[in-house]
Amino acid sequence: MSDRNKPQTETEVSSSTATAVEGRWNVVVLNDPVNLMSYVVLVFKKVLGFNESTARKHMMEVHEQGRSIVWSGVREQAEHYTFTLQHWHLHAVLESDETH
């Protein structure tokens, strides 16, 4: 039986799931036609603690490129930031960082 066809043991499944949860996660803000640029800057400053220039840089990425990764790190904190940004009516999503 080749490795590809060999069933995974419970240990192998658990460790791959743990790695997926423990990996790096990105908080991504997507462009929307509703929020004003000044409002997005304000939210970035309040929620993520950005200074004015960093908040404006990310806001312009959202505006010009349609998305910006505003935070990367552990899943629990990424979920918190995503939920909070959504609470402020920004279109925020959580994505697994496949590069790490």
Q: Where are the domains of the chain?
A: 24-96
| Tokens coding 81 | 């930031």
| Side chain identity at residue 20, one-letter code | A
- HSE-up (13 A, CA, CB side) for residue 53: 0
CATH class in words for 24-96:
alpha beta
Q: How far apart are CA 26 and CA 31, in angstroms?
A: 16
Average pLDDT over residues 22-40: 95
For the entire predicted model, the pTM comes to 0.77
Q: Which two tokens stand for residue 50?
A: 């950005």
Please write the tens of the pLDDT for every residue from 41-99. Answer: 999 999 999 999 999 999 999 999 999 999 999 999 999 999 999 999 999 999 999 87
Query: What is the sign, positive or negative, of the torsion defined by CA atoms of 70, 71, 77, 78?
Result: positive
Residue 26 near residue 95 (C-beta atoms within 8 A): yes
Joined tokens for residue 35: 């929020």
Cα separation, 66 vs 30, in Å, equals 6
